[in-house]
Amino acid sequence: MRDLSMHITDIVQNSVRAKAKLIQLTIEEKGEWLVFTFEDDGTGMDAETVKKVTDPFYTSRTTRKVGLGLPLFKQNAELTGGTLEIYSQLGEGTTVKADFGKDHIDRPPMGDLKSTVAMLITGNPEVDMVFTYRTKDDEFRLDSREVKEVLDGMDIRMPQVTSFLKEMIDENLKEIKADL
């Protein structure tokens, strides 16, 4: 079974493939809900594609007939009483929003969130990412543009950067008492 971090990788890779320059991932603990919002400025989809996209027999990739990233994410959200919605405009970008019943017995575990976020940032050096985790009273925000600024021209793909980011994300999520 896919944990939530694996779903995050899937959905962010869709945005990367759609040539996004900026991807914003927000995770929010909102009462009984765990809300994931992915916002990108990639190619977007037309209305017909948006309609088809949560249907497992639709994909625009030619190498494979069945796209599963969005349908599986949607199915897992719905199994916890939640929903998945897509807002997209051709040439503008795409927003994917999924609510999971936070304490529902069928909610997949978060998985390795710190490594996932660190790898998505360092593995896609040409894309900027803003990761936000919000609890009821607090918030942690990581902007890859600030990381790149600190690196001052050094390659973000260096393994030390990934370990540094992992540790930094871990410490901050503990600090804000994220319920992982």
Ligand X SMILES: Nc1ncnc2c1ncn2[C@@H]1O[C@H](COP(=O)(O)OP(=O)(O)OP(=O)(O)O)[C@@H](O)[C@H]1O
Nearer residue to ligand X within complex by CB, 111 or 135: 111
Instruction: Indicate whether 25 belongs to the interface with ligand X (CB under 6 A).
Output: no
| CA dist., res. 73 & res. 70, Å (int) | 5
d(C-alpha 21, C-alpha 114), whole Å:
22
Between the CA of residue 84 and those of 30, 40, 129, what are the distances in Å? 16, 16, 21
Give me the numbers of helices (H) and strands (E) for the chain, helices first please: 6, 6
| Distance (Å, whole) CA 129 – CA 55 | 28
Asked whether 38 and 143 are in contact (CB, 8 A), the reply is: no
Is residue 71 near Mg ion by the rule CB under 5 A? no
User: By rule CB under 6 A, what string of x and - marks binding of each residue 129-168 to ligand X?
Assistant: ----------------------------------------
Q: Name the residue type at position 121.
A: I
31 vs 91, beta carbon nearer ligand X: 91
Q: Which is nearer to ligand X, 69 or 82 (CB)?
A: 69
Binder among 42, 44, 69, 108 for Mg ion (CB under 5 A): 69
By C-beta, is 53 or 169 nearer to ligand X? 53
- Near ligand X in 51-90, by CB under 6 A: 53, 59-61, 67-71
Interacting residues with Mg ion (CB under 5 A): 14, 69
Interacting residues with ligand X (CB under 6 A): 10, 14-15, 18, 40, 42-45, 53, 59-61, 67-71, 94
